[in-house]
A and B are shown apart, each in its own frame.
Chain A
Amino acid sequence: MEARKEFISGNEAVAIGAMLARPQVVSAYPISPQTIVVEKLAEYVESGLMKNCSYIRVESEHSALAAVLGAVATGARTFTATSSHGLMYMAEVLPFVSGSRFPVVMMNANRALAVPWSIFTDQSDSMMLLNSGWLQVYVEDAQEALDMVIQSYRIAEDPAVMSPIMINLDGFVLTHTYELVDIPAQAQVDKYLPPYKTGNKMSIDQPLGVCIGITPDLNTEFRYRQHVDQLRNAPGVIAGADREFGEVFGRSYGSQGGGLSEKYRCEDAEVVLVTLGSISMTARTVVDKLRDAGRKVGLFKIRFMRPFPMQDLLSLGDQVKVLGVLDKNISPGYEGTVFSQVNSALSRKANPPRTMNYVGGLAGREITTRSLEKIFSEMLGMIRDGKAELPPDPNGRVKFINMRWEDHE
């Protein structure tokens, strides 16, 4: 198929990206707001657009990932997609896939978890599975979604990484919003993404026991190997995949030679806001507006939560006095998950910025440019004589934004 532009939703961008990556097995179960991905892929297989792909219909998300696990264990390239409670339901299979070092690529439509039950977006679902051994990328728009499906196979299947990837799209805001998307030619994608080849598979020629049990004598060594491959190898592989993608397709996403994050107008910033996913788009416009007014503010967009962009955070200049983390999730009783992760990275810095946590956008609650302006101006107001003064109460550093009711204190 030739390169073209199409006006499509985020879900359709994911489905087209998956089609172009030529998976041999797709198995998925529909759930809002991911359903269109499953429908489109079924349509592509049925209509002959995906000739060498088997579509396995299943009765649940648990079975969807289990079917994919069986397929990838034979050396097949695989794809699945889910969301929210579907992800929770397949959670048991996630570490089977990652621990076996199988490069499955999965799309997750970020959606709130019950109760209060909601079909709308936040990032509680994927954040709960940070420790599952899956790499996690959060995309900002439909183009990045399509591109990251293709890039993800390159990253996941790299012998130095060999880990599954979860591609996260904010539900509805991104999955159902229509954008003009560049769709690359199949020949170009084939050039960028050769067929998957591995020794890590069941075969008649070299029979293997996979997903084996290992006693305490040897178990730790495998967990360690998985850990260091992701910690040491994955960042470089991700950067390389992004760089080469730029050379072939003319688009790349990470900044300063890395793919894990993007720094937007951070050079001389005194206040930086950390975001993930589609809200980064809104935050850019707010940063631009405040920059026009002479405010030294910047945006740090986290792309990958695993591996975590620790080095990128450490490379923020010492002039950053206050760093806010916008969390679209809450670990009830403590703080936002991203805030914990960012603080842990910054604690390795000699002169770390002071940090604030803004929790918002839960279950589809809108985060407007106005609420982001308020966050920035609050953080700017904390700087006096070049020093940051934060709320003295440690709990005061975690703030819920756009609340209908005041704090119950």
Chain B
Amino acid sequence: MIPLAHFMFVSAALFCIGIYAVLSKRNAIMILVGIELMLNAAILNLVTFSKHDKFEASGQVFALFAIILAAAAVAVSLAIILNVYKYYRTIDPTKIDNLRN
């Protein structure tokens, strides 16, 4: 039996890697990847604790919802990134600093 704390250590490490990606990357897609990493860390936590909630399985249901939402978010943000690239000829978020017109 693996202690819950170990799951949480992995999750914490993953989350911090995600934070680093989000804060440091100069590429929108990599930022998106970082967000996905953070989401995965959160999902891992949810799933881990749902071990003690057999009948209601709230953690797993929420993990499902989170996965679905993450998928939707990825779809929409990719579309947005493509449009941004079409408009600015770059996807570096530090250079996208003016509103349209």
Do A and B bind? Answer: no
A-contacting residues of B (Cβ < 8 Å)?
none
